[in-house]
Amino acid sequence: MKRHIPNLITLLNLFCGCVAVVFAVLNQLELAAFFVFLGIVFDFFDGFAARLLNVKSDLGLQLDSLADMVTSGLVPGIVMFQLLGMSMHGGWNADLSSQVANDTFWAGLRVAPLPFFGFLITLASGYRLAKFNIDENQTSSFVGLPTPANTLLILSLPLILLYHNNDFLNAIILNQWFLIGITLLSAFLLNSNIKLFALKFKNWSFNDNSQRYIFLIVGLVLLATMKFLAIPAIIALYILSSLVGNMGK
């Protein structure tokens, strides 16, 4: 029975991803972000449960990537699709929670090609997940930005628009060239050769996990002080601290 527990948690991740897809298509990006965050929590605990119960399996590995393809692959692509569409059709509607399908830019989109560029994130995520599944060296570290981290970066953009509501930030985030640049950067980071540490604790010793503990503490401080603006900063910190750590090896 216990061997099914991690897979059940993974399926909860997939369910959250499916719900997030619906809300992202309806342009209710705050709710989409909530279910993505919930899915990422399940994504963390399925691996933790597998290690704790010592029931890791090839099935679990494949199922985990399939769930991530939805929650951390398809959803950020749709979100970028929506943001690029907003940049073309009147910008941001601050009353996001009350939007329904007819209120989105979809009705006026017709066949404008630019928003579909956002699905480059989905394609890059699929390629990254496929590489991960056949790479036996990514156990205690990652090569390239993990899809959940990349998804947090993309999902932070509409949350910054909604909760910070700053004209300067809004103008930057809803600039087409900025969004194109973020999409290209996302695709690059996902499939780069940058070695990044994994937040996997084999034990609770500070000496063995000092980099992880310091990163988590700094990340929590940033979230408390900067709210959703902290997410891009935390992703940048994650990459920079990994690069610094690699130099010391």
> Can you list the alpha helix ranges (DSSP code H) found in 3-28?
5-25
CB contact set of 164 (below 8 Å; sequence gap of 6+): 227, 228, 229
CB contact set of 166 (below 8 Å; sequence gap of 6+): none
* Other Cβ atoms closer than 10 A to 224: 9
SS3 192: coil
Residue 126 has which token pair?
């699929």
Residue 135 has which token pair?
């790479």
Residue 222 has which token pair?
């940033």
SS3 243: helix
Question: 173 near 161, Cβ under 8 Å?
Answer: yes
Q: What is the pLDDT of residue 81?
A: 94
Angle at 70 (CA atoms; ends 53, 145), nearest 5 degrees: 75
What sign does the CA torsion over 187, 236, 219, 92 have? Answer: negative
Give the Cα separation of 74 and 227 in Å (integer). 25
Q: What is the pLDDT of residue 212?
A: 85
- Could you read off the pLDDT of 179-237 as tens digits, one per residue? 999 999 999 999 999 999 887 766 677 777 778 888 999 999 999 999 999 999 999 99
Work out the pLDDT band at 96, boundaries 50, 70, 90.
very low
> Which domains, and CATH codes, for the chain?
2-94+111-197 (1.20.120.1760)
CB contact set of 215 (below 8 Å; sequence gap of 6+): 197, 199, 237, 238, 241
Q: What is the pLDDT of residue 100?
A: 37
- Could you read off the pLDDT of 64-88 as tens digits, one per residue? 899 999 999 999 999 999 999 998 8
Containing 88, the helix (H) or strand (E) segment is: helix 75-88
